[in-house]
A and B are shown apart, each in its own frame.
Chain A
Amino acid sequence: MNKKTKINSTAYRIMLLMKNLAQKSLSIDELITIIENDEIDPKFISREAVIKYLNTLKSAGVNICKIKKNRTYYYYVDKQPQLLNMDKNDISSLAFTENYINSLYQNKIINDFAKFMNITSKFLTDDDLKLLNKERKKLKQTQTKLNNNYNKYRDILPKAEQSCSDGQRVFIKYRLPSDEMTKNITLEPKLLKYDSKNICLIGYNPIAGEKQAFLLDYIEEIRQLPQKSKYDNIMTPVMFKLKGRLAKGYNLYDNEKFVENSEYQDEDSIIVANYEDDKEYLLKRLLRYGEYCEAVYPKSFRNKFIQTVKETLLNYEKSSH
């Protein structure tokens, strides 16, 4: 904006207030400071002038609300000027998503989504908000299979989530149905990994010296230890080679990248580095790719892959006898 371009100062200050109040709640003193320090048209104004400006905005249809905090009134724009163009399906979808997120029983994701809903509500019309509340009530009364996917974890999940965010080592008791005895494991928990039905706690086992995944179904106990996690940032990529049709049409997953000029690469192949924490999951995915995929690094993963294939073939041999 050219400083010499003529503007209407009063109108400018009023729109400036609107712009700031759309972002957060502000007191009259804070609004005065904003105008005083403005780069384009700074000016000292009185409290009465600010009130007049707020009245102007209200008269123009801007929904200015006020709240009291510590004996001071704060003002904010309740509804943004440009609203979302939603239809009934969008609102239903939003309510359904909120319901689904709540069924994950993970406080961080629930809180993140609540933040998102808080922001979104400022961009919804009053009718849309009413419809949203109606859909929420309807969903509370109906339970769907989708919302019950992780019900069985509702007790252990908050503990497991806490263990990931605290940055402390934990002691877990783990027993698969096939195990005769419960295993005692020290773990530096990193994250919870969901698939469509189950949840794994993934972390670094400092005694085994590798990342491991534990199904929440079989964790009998989680207890925090006084030691801090030391191996937070271990990135252990697995590299695999893709050949033939897979090399042509492969879409990278979220935690993957192509590796250029790798020693493992040849003419018709590409190399992918994967930073997946759950190596077991990755191994099974790579099996699906058949002969078009070869695990190349690290050697331990490559050997484990070969071992898995051999064991699978052995299963077929045994079953035919």
Chain B
Amino acid sequence: MVQNQNEKSINKFDNISLTGFRCAKIFNLLLKTPCTYEEINQFLKTKANGLDDISKDSVTLYINTLRAIGCEIKRPSSKNNYKYVLIDHPFKLSLSSVFLQEFLNIRKHLSLCNNWNFIIDNDNFILKFIEIFDKETILRWNKMIKPKTSYFYTKEEIEKIKLLNKYCAKKRRVGLIYISPEKGEKQMEIIARKIICENNTIYLSCLNKETDKILHLRIDRIKDIKTVSIASQEKKVVPIIVKYKLTGTSAYLFEPENAEKIIKKNTNEIIIETKVYNEFNFIQKVLNYGNNCTLISPEHMKEQVLSKLNRILKSYE
């Protein structure tokens, strides 16, 4: 004898509470999408094998039961198309301040690798992870994250970096608005070259059309991308050949990167030759070595370093 499908289905539910079953099912449904009473009823009839319609009062009872365990559910109204909307629930992630601090320390370590792809992929994941935090954890997290810290990129900044990376791949001409600390907002026309990461910060390396110089623009200071067009034949940027000397621990620990090569080496010092596209950045790098570094050539950059050092000393008089 062919069993009636509904009877077979009901047998499946021996030794369970049908009301509990329905309540759990409604919760799962609302997790996915807001629902009207009719949608809940239809769902329960197909999934829970209830033979009869569930009354509105019963649905209200189940919704109140979910609220009793800590769910926040908005009742149907004209504002939400008469749907029950699950705003919050107690199955989210609760993390202590100690754990969040450990989590932040891990993120700090990741920023040391200076690999921008890695950094934004991680921050993207962290943003998704935050979505499952409960309210108290979000409050703790927001207290711990200082505003404008360089350690986290927002969703908008991540999207901006990915978009700029696409423009870099195609060497697009981009009109953007940049927030300069000195001059405030300014419009710039640039040719996008590549995304780089230095000192835990992500920059757009680009050619400034106005000055024909390579710039590194901080991503968080790019306010808006206004225009994008195909660049006319790209002017080849000629790098400056720079020689510098390292002594002390900087010399011992030095490992050539990119265009760098050691051209002379003795017991206490090494001389390095490299190609430089952005003078300002390179001078920053030289200063960062402190008294372990001496710029040898070209003369004009050497003068810039000396001038800067003399200005620093003067400010202490």
Contacts and interface: CB of A to CB of B under 8 A. Distances in A.
B106 A101 contact: yes
Contact of B181 (A15, A96, A245): A245
B227 interface: no
Contacts of B31: 81-82
Given A82-B92, A84-B132, A86-B128, A290 B21 contact: no
Nearest to B306: A316
A60 B62 contact: no
A81 B65 contact: no
B149 A195 contact: no
B313 A313 contact: yes
B181 A246 contact: yes
A248 interface: yes
A134 B314 CA distance: 60
Nearest to A283: B290
A16 B69 contact: yes
A56 B148 contact: no
Interface in B161-195: 180-182
Q: Which of A5, A59, A81, A176 has the most CB of B within 10 A?
A: A59
A61 B109 CA distance: 39
Contacts of A112: 102-103, 105-106
A83 B109 CA distance: 27
Interface residues of A, number: 94
A308 B291 contact: yes
A6 B91 contact: no
B65 A11 contact: yes
B46 interface: no
A285 interface: yes
Contact of B309 (A215, A251, A312): A312
Contacts of A285: 288
A80 B131 CA distance: 14
A97 B95 CA distance: 20
B16 A59 contact: yes
Nearest to B48: A60
Contacts of A18: 24, 91
B124 A90 contact: yes
Interface in A161-191: 176-178
B118 A96 contact: yes
Interface stretch (B206-214, B230-238, B246-254): B246-254
A308 B290 CA distance: 7
Q: Which of B22, B132, B148, B308 has the most CB of A within 10 A?
A: B132
A143 B21 CA distance: 49
Nearest to B69: A15
B121 to A, nearest CB: 4
Nearest to B120: A93
A160 B157 CA distance: 38
Contacts of B102: 112, 115-116
B294 A10 contact: no
Given A10-B17, A309-B313, A22 B112 contact: no
Interface in B9-23: 12-13, 15-17, 19-23
Contacts of B115: 146
Contacts of A8: 19-20, 23, 61-62, 65
B13 A287 contact: no
A261 interface: no
A300 B17 CA distance: 75
Nearest to B285: A288
A146 B253 CA distance: 17
A215 B253 contact: yes
B66 interface: yes
Contact of B16 (A22, A55, A217): A55
B17 A56 contact: yes
Contact of B105 (A109, A178, A246, A287): A109
Nearest to B295: A316
Given A149-B113, A290-B308, A15 B21 contact: no
Interface string A183-211: 00000000000111110000000000000
A290 B290 CA distance: 12
A10 B68 CA distance: 12
Given A52-B15, A115-B99, A291-B312, A15 B291 contact: no
Contact of A97 (B21, B64, B69, B110): B110
Contacts of A19: 69-70, 90-91
Contact of B255 (A100, A197, A251, A287): A197
A291 to B, nearest CB: 4
Interface in B125-155: 125, 128-129, 131-132, 146, 148-151
Contacts of B70: 19
A222 interface: no
B16 A313 contact: no
A204 to B, nearest CB: 21
Contacts of A248: 181-182
B313 A60 contact: no
B211 to A, nearest CB: 18
A227 interface: no
B181 A59 contact: no
A56 B24 contact: yes
B287 interface: yes
B64 A196 contact: no
Nearest to A294: B315
Interface in A56-91: 56-57, 59-62, 80-82, 84-86, 89-90
In order of increasing CB-CB distance, the 3 nearest A-B pairs are A249-B181, A14-B20, A60-B24
21 contacts: A6-B61, A11-B17, A11-B24, A19-B91, A55-B16, A85-B128, A90-B124, A100-B113, A112-B103, A115-B102, A116-B106, A177-B252, A196-B114, A248-B181, A251-B149, A252-B146, A291-B311, A294-B315, A309-B313, A312-B291, A315-B247
